[in-house]
Chain A
Amino acid sequence: MRRDLSTSALWLGLYVSAVTLPLFALLPGTATAGRGLAWDFAMALGYAGAAMLGVQFALTARFRRATAPFGIDLVYFFHRYLAVLALLIVLAHYAILRLRFPDALGTADPRVAAAHLSAGRIALLLLLAVALMSLLRRSLRLDYDLWRVLHAVLATTGFALALWHMLGSGHYLDSAWKQALWSGYGAFWLGLIGYVRIVRPASVVRTPFQVVEVRRERGLIWTLVLTRTSGQPLRFSPGQFGWLTLRASPFAMREHPFSIASSAERPGRIELSIKQLGDFTSTIGHVQPGETAWFDAPYGTFGIDGYPQATGHVFVAGGIGIAPIMSMLRTLADRGDQRPLLLFYGNRVWDRVAFREELEDLCQRLSLRVVHVLLEPPPEWNGERGFVTGEVLQRHLPPHLRQLEYFLCGPTPMTQAVERSLAALDIDTSRVHSEIFDWV
Chain B
Amino acid sequence: MLRETRARFLALLTAVVVVLLAALFASLRNPRVPVDTAAAPTAMSQGAADADVASKRAQQAFVRLGCAACHALGGVGNPSLPLDGIASRMDPTLIRAWAGGSGIAAEELPAGIVRRKARASGDPEFEALIADLATRR
Contacts and interface: CB of A to CB of B under 8 A. Distances in A.
Interface of A: 12, 15-16, 19-20, 23-24, 26-27, 31-41, 43-45, 48, 52, 71, 73-74, 77-78, 80-82, 85-86, 88-89, 100-101, 103-107, 112-115, 117, 171, 412, 415-416, 419, 429, 432, 434, 436
Contacts of A52: 15, 18
Contacts of B35: 36-37
Given A41-B22, A85-B11, A34 B33 contact: yes
User: Could you say which interface size class chain B belongs to?
Assistant: 35 or more
B15 A82 contact: yes
B110 to A, nearest CB: 9
B14 interface: yes
Given A34-B33, A40-B30, A101-B79, 9 more contacts: A16-B14, A23-B22, A32-B29, A35-B79, A36-B30, A39-B36, A44-B26, A89-B15, A112-B66
Contact of B19 (A33, A45, A71, A77): A45
Nearest to B18: A48
Given A45-B19, A106-B68, A112-B66, A82 B26 contact: no
B14 A419 contact: no
Nearest to A20: B21
B8 A40 contact: no
A109 B103 CA distance: 29
Given A113-B66, A115-B112, A39 B4 contact: no
Given A39-B36, A82-B15, A117-B69, A24 B26 contact: no
A349 B38 CA distance: 71
Closest 3 CB pairs of A and B: A36-B36, A34-B30, A44-B22
Given A432-B2, A434-B3, A81 B36 contact: no
A242 B108 CA distance: 54
A100 B11 contact: no
Contact of B30 (A37, A86, A88, A104): A37
A437 to B, nearest CB: 9
Contacts of B116: 114
30 contacts: A16-B14, A20-B17, A23-B25, A27-B29, A34-B29, A34-B30, A35-B39, A36-B30, A36-B33, A36-B35, A36-B38, A36-B40, A37-B26, A37-B35, A39-B38, A45-B19, A52-B15, A73-B3, A78-B10, A80-B7, A81-B8, A82-B14, A86-B15, A101-B78, A104-B69, A105-B69, A106-B68, A112-B66, A415-B1, A434-B1
Contact of A103 (B18, B39, B77): B77
Contacts of A112: 66
Contacts of A89: 15, 18-19, 22
B54 interface: no
A41 B26 CA distance: 5
B37 A36 contact: yes
Contacts of B112: 114-115
A12 B30 CA distance: 29
B76 interface: yes
Interface of B: 1-4, 6-8, 10-12, 14-15, 17-19, 21-23, 25-31, 33, 35-40, 63, 66, 68-70, 72, 76-81, 112-113, 116
A101 B73 CA distance: 12
A412 B29 contact: no
Nearest to B40: A36
Contacts of A101: 77-79
Contact of A48 (B2, B10, B22, B38): B22
Among the interface residues B8, B10, B22, which one has the most CB atoms of the partner chain A within 10 A? B22
Contacts of A86: 15
Nearest to A112: B66
A113 to B, nearest CB: 7
Contacts of B38: 33-36, 39
A44 B25 contact: yes
B15 A100 contact: no
A37 B10 CA distance: 28
B18 A16 contact: yes
Contact of A40 (B12, B15, B25): B25
Contacts of B39: 35-36
B36 A37 contact: yes
Nearest to A100: B36
B76 A23 contact: no
A24 B30 contact: no
B1 A419 contact: yes
Nearest to B113: A114
Contacts of A41: 22-23, 25-26
B79 A39 contact: yes
A103 B29 CA distance: 23
Nearest to A21: B21
Contacts of A113: 66, 69
